[in-house]
Structure 1
């Protein structure tokens, strides 16, 4: 799909507006041209007994009331992204990563929704204007969108990145968990384990090695206690006491005191290490940078519209007519 778009940019754009966007086409291509009678100066599309359907009625029903503007924008967005970002090896690699991630996520969610991974993926692709089996095309478009998004954020760091870092406090953290029956009264065995952790760290043993040896979190201990990205929006849905303690760590390598947590799932003491807390360090990790930039974009209601429109203005786009351009701009909330 992507290669076809690249080879026939102008033709495809026109085709998308007139053919792919059939709802608008029904109205626009027949306005002023439909044969037969008019009612109140409006062209009649069909009549049935006492009911008369005009072209304006059809336009309102099919387009204005059935997400026609959204459909038009999705196709416009995809074309702008595809034409604005050149495909290279790095982009293909990123697209492969996205495709694998989507496949993995769909497989893990399928049973919860009582469906198949293929059905979930097909629904996602269809909602973004792709064929149901074009996961690779969708992933490449997503990779291109990331690059366009990142360039926009890089160009607007003072207004986007700096305040996000200050307000959301992104961190990358690891932890050691010692489970206890009563967080306020550890048993002798539990206290012994806590003391051994403290001594090992005081003696200079690497945090990850201590986590591997002592942590009771079976999901992270083999990976040195690594939890990953955390910020104040809590995208991973971690317990709040853990998030609060993580965000108080402001330097790379800083380690918290014990954080006591008791809930319906477990009771225990956490010790948390900020693997990355300073902005320059966070941005050196491409996965963390992507997480931060994704969070910035998702926290803004109109940022994607801004960078898509900024890119669109650099292209020689031929709109079908002024109404099409106006509808796109109104949907995006942008001006010339």
Structure 2
């Protein structure tokens, strides 16, 4: 079996963990990434091509050079507030570039794709945890750009030989427990990372965006999934497609949530640092609560998460960030 795969966005936070796991089990990987928000240093296996999905000539050249058995598509913009202020950029980078990639797959005869989607496609769900059949009603351009990409993939799949797995991520956090990979960005906006930055004095404190949500403590609730477990779900999805199974959509989460206040308190406790917390208004596009029902991926793919623990997510994040600061040695 041909085990050469293309990974778009493979130098990014999630993509790099997947590339490492693919390399560890023997896949030949080509990473296609413009490195605008990622680092070449994060690509631990395979070949890195620094290019943009908007550059279709370059994309076709890479497909012509290699015989790919599958594509894993991570490359995207993903900051919700930024999508509200710059929606056209999100539709261009997320939706249009997905179209470019799928069209290239069509022309070059690649008929397996794993797509990185998001819980943002559900918007503000009426019930939690959400299942894959929960209505998709995104409330921000980021979620809409991803849902449009899902539709594009699904519609093309119905008219062709393309088979796909769409993975709807919940809130991804954590780092490689062995200290090889983590978030490379200096300006990551996710809560766990931001709180760890505050604990390490990189930031003066942490802001809570909204304290009047209809939740027990008034702050937003999210389902946090460790990046290593999410990466493993991609390998499970690839094995699934290699067995010629039918296309599917799966939630990727643990099925329980933590509020913003709870996460901040755990970061303080684990780090031993009582950093300042500033309460401010809600951000546009933020839902009150979103958690995953992940029964389907466990049943059909046999996915078995190993890091379902908020404290472990925080500890691996903190260890990675301390390592980057030179405060501890690499594991």
TM-score of the two chains, using structure 2 as the length reference: 0.20
Say which structure is richer in strand.
Answer: 2
Which has the larger Rg?
A: 1
TM-score of the two chains, using structure 1 as the length reference: 0.20
Say which structure is richer in helix.
Answer: 1
